[in-house]
Amino acid sequence: MTGRLAGKVAIVTGGGHGIGKAYALGLAGEGAKVVVAEIDAIAAGTVAADLKSRGFEAIAVRTDVADPASVAAMVERTLVSFGRIDILVNNAAIFATVPMSRSPFDEIEIEEWDRMMAVNLRGMWLASRAAVPHMRARGYGKIINISSGTALKGSASRIHYVTSKAGVLGFTRTLARELGQHGICVNCVAPGSTLSEENPDESIVKMRSAAAGERALQRVQKPEDIVGAIVFFASPESDFITGQTLVVDGGACMH
Ligand SMILES: NC(=O)c1ccc[n+]([C@@H]2O[C@H](COP(=O)([O-])OP(=O)(O)OC[C@H]3O[C@@H](n4cnc5c(N)ncnc54)[C@H](O)[C@@H]3O)[C@@H](O)[C@H]2O)c1
C-alpha cells in the first residue's frame, strides 16, 4: 500500500455514517488500515466492506464510545487485527444519525443533556485513554478531535451540543500538553454546517444551503471538504503541530 499514511492504523469513531464515512475513505485512500468504530453495527460493516471492495484494509467494530468496556474492546480488536494504533479520529457524536433536539436551552431534558456529554465528551476521553498507551509505547501518535464551528460562533439552539463541542477545544489543548512528551500530537478540526445527511429532506437542504451565505466561499459544505484537514493532521506533515484547532467551513468563522 502506498500513500502518505502507508502502514499506519487509524480508528475512526462514528465512521459508519456521514462525515466519518468520508474520513474512513480518505484515510484508507492514503494507505491507512482503517477501523470503523461505530454504534450502528450494520453501517460499520457496510463501510468496512466498501473499503475492502476498493482494495483497502478495514474492519468494522460495533462500539459505543460512551461505554468503557466497549471502547476497550474496540482497541483490543484493532490490536488483534492490525497490531498497532497510530491515528485516532474522535468523530462519534450525537448529532444527526443519533439525533438531538434543537430546542431552546431551557427545554432540553436532563437525560438528553447527560447523554450528550457522555457520548460527545466522555466518549472522546475514553477512546483516547484506551488508545494512548499503545501510541505512547511506540513514541508516536495522532489524535484528531472533531469540534464544530458552533463552538466558536455560538448557536441560538441546542446548547447541550454546542457546549460539548466547546469542551472539545479545551480537551484538545490539555491532552496535547500532556502527550507532547510522548511524541503524540493532538489536534482539533471544527467543521462548518455540512450536508452530511444520507437522505436529506427539503428542510435540511434549506438549512445547509442557508449556511453558504455566511461564507467567503459561498457554497454548501460537503463531507469531502473536511477530509484533507484530517489526512493532514494524521500524516507526518503535521508532526510539529499540536493543540491546534483548524476551522474548515469555507471562511464563515475566521479566528
Ligand atoms: N454535519 C455538520 O454540519 C457538522 C458540523 C460541525 C461538526 N460536526 C461533527 O462532525 C461529526 C460527524 O457528524 P455528521 O454530520 O457526520 O453526523 P452523524 O450523526 O451522521 O455522525 C456521527 C456518527 O457517530 C455515530 N455515533 C453516535 N453515537 C455513537 C456512540 N455512542 N458510539 C459510537 N458511534 C456513535 C453515529 O451513528 C454516526 O455515524 C460529529 O462529531 C459532529 O458533531 C458536524
66 lines ligand 1 (CB under 6 A): yes
Average pLDDT over residues 211-226: 97
86 lines ligand 1 (CB under 6 A): no
**Confidence category of residue 189, pLDDT binned at 50, 70, 90:** very high
- Which single residue is written with the C-alpha cell 474520513? 23
Decide: 179 and 132 in contact? Cβ < 8 Å. Answer: yes
- Domain locations in the chain? 9-248
The C-alpha atoms of residue 146 and residue 85 are separated, in whole angstroms, by 18
**Confidence category of residue 1, pLDDT binned at 50, 70, 90:** confident
- Cα 198 to ligand 1 centroid, rounded to whole Å: 12
Average pLDDT, the chain: 97
Average pLDDT over residues 125-147: 98
Decide: 20 and 38 in contact? Cβ < 8 Å. Answer: yes
25 lines ligand 1 (CB under 6 A): no
Is 249 a residue whose pLDDT tops 80? Answer: yes
pTM over 0.95: yes
**Confidence category of residue 2, pLDDT binned at 50, 70, 90:** confident
Average pLDDT over residues 173-185: 98
Coil, helix or strand for 207?
Answer: helix
140 is catalytic: no
* Position in ligand 1 atom list of the atom nearest CA 161: 43
pLDDT, tens digit (0-9, with 9 covering 90-100), for 39-74: 999 999 999 999 999 999 999 999 999 999 999 999
Is 186 a residue whose pLDDT tops 80? Answer: yes
The C-alpha atoms of residue 14 and residue 38 are separated, in whole angstroms, by 5
- Tell me the β-bridge partners of 188: 145, 245
141 lines ligand 1 (CB under 6 A): no
Max Cα separation, the chain? 52
Task: Print the SS3 string covering 55-74.
Answer: CCCEEEEECCCCCHHHHHHH
Coil, helix or strand for 91?
Answer: coil
* Position in ligand 1 atom list of the atom nearest CA 118: 31
36 lines ligand 1 (CB under 6 A): no
Assign a CATH topology to domain 9-248: Rossmann fold (3.40.50)
- Report CA 109 to chain centroid distance, whole Å: 25
As a whole-number percent, the residues of the chain with pLDDT over 90 amount to 98
Alpha carbon nearest to ligand 1 atom 38, residue: 14
pLDDT, tens digit (0-9, with 9 covering 90-100), for 84-117: 999 999 999 999 999 999 999 999 999 999 999 9
**Confidence category of residue 255, pLDDT binned at 50, 70, 90:** confident
- Cα 14 to ligand 1 centroid, rounded to whole Å: 6
Q: Which of 23, 82, 161, 171 is catalytic?
A: 161
Alpha-helical segments (H) within the chain: 18-29, 41-53, 68-82, 110-117, 123-136, 150-153, 159-179, 202-212, 224-234
- Indicate if the alpha-carbon torsion angle 204, 45, 27, 65 is positive or negative: positive
* Position in ligand 1 atom list of the atom nearest CA 150: 6
Is 77 a residue whose pLDDT tops 90? Answer: yes
